[in-house]
Amino acid sequence: MTQIASTPRCVLITGAGSGIGAGIAAALAQDGHHVVVTDLSHDAARDVAQSIVAAGGSAEAHALDVTSDDSVAAVLSALTRPVDVLVNNAGLQHVSKLEEFPMAKWDLLVQVMLVGVARITRAVLPGMRERGFGRIVNIGSIHSLVASPFKSAYVAAKHGLLGFSKVMALETCDADITINTICPTYVKTPLVDKQIADQARTRGIPESQVVSDVMLKPMPKGVFITFEELAGITAFLMSPAARNITGHTIDVDGGWTVQ
């Protein structure tokens, strides 16, 4: 019999105060996992955790800045349970031509979405090794695979995430630890809503045209990706059936990259 169901785990999710992170947190809590909701905003993390608990799930909330060693250490020392699963989801976006892109903002995007991933992964790995189990799921992007204009920092960080994941897969192959990257196209989140306005301004086109021509037209299926899809793939990667899937990129792109 195929083993898809996963033992209840403690799952730490970064950037879970809204959007994809919050959606994955809610879905995994419904599956019986204990969710550690972290976000730069403690209020946002607390609200998500409270909604999970109100729905009968198990959750705790912590403020986390993935660009800070001290913040990562403080959160891990404050947890009620050790981390079995890490979902690296924290992210941000800035849309601009490189000539007009503030370098401090460029650096921040890479610090959060690449260096920050390495920082917290590095912090949880010793405990995973000690307990003999670990799953790391990175939330990449279609922009881990392809490029779009005006997103140089985001695309660079997300491309780097794939290389990092492959190296970590090799470094953890001596233990029951896996690391994989899920690469969705556009998910309807507050981050994407802001991108629509930014893209319209940068490209000089209406917002409706950004959605139809820039975001959905490259996808043969032509629909936004849902939180449920990403949560389901994450749950699969946590399950016994996926114990030998590591270092891989899982494209959730509606056919974008097969053309």
Secondary structure string (H, E, C) spanning the chain: CCCCCCCCCEEEECCCCCHHHHHHHHHHHHCCCEEEEEECCHHHHHHHHHHHHHCCCEEEEEECCCCCHHHHHHHHHHCCCCCCEEEECCCCCCCCCHHHCCHHHHHHHHHHHHHHHHHHHHHHHHHHHHHCCEEEEEECCHHHCCCCCCCHHHHHHHHHHHHHHHHHHHHCCCCCEEEEEEEECCECCHHHHHHHHHHHHHHCCCHHHHHHHHHHCCCCCCCCECHHHHHHHHHHHHCHHHCCCCCCEEEECCCHHHC
Residue 116 structure tokens: 């920050």
Partners of 181 in beta bridges? 138, 249
Closest Cα partner for 186 from 146, 241, 152, 129? Answer: 146
Q: Report the first-to-last Cα separation within the chain, whole angstroms.
A: 36
pLDDT value of residue 4? 56
Which residue would you say has higher pLDDT here, 239 or 5?
A: 239
**Is the separation of the CB atoms in 49 and 59 below 8 Å?**
yes
Segment among 168-177, 183-192, 241-250 with least mean pLDDT: 183-192
Q: How many CA atoms lie within 13 A of 206 on its CB side?
A: 3
Assign 38 a pLDDT band (cuts: 50, 70, 90). Answer: very high
Domains and CATH numbers, the chain: 10-184+225-252 (3.40.50.720)
pLDDT at 223: 85
C-alpha closest to that of 183 among 116, 257, 112, 128: 257
The confidence score (pLDDT) of residue 209 equals 87
Q: pTM here?
A: 0.91
Evaluated on CA atoms 18, 12, 122, 252, the torsion sign reads: negative
The mean per-residue pLDDT over the stretch 158-181 comes to 98
Catalytic residues: 154
Summarised one tens digit per residue, pLDDT across range 211-256 is 787 888 888 888 889 999 999 999 999 999 999 999 999 999 999 9
Nearest to 89 by CA among 32, 130, 48: 48
What is the structure's pLDDT at 27?
97
pLDDT at 1: 37
In this prediction, residue 58 carries a pLDDT of 98
Question: Distance (Å, rounded) from C-alpha 61 to C-alpha 25?
Answer: 11
What length does the chain have? 259
Rounded to an integer, the average pLDDT of 35-54 is: 98
pLDDT at position 186 over 60: yes
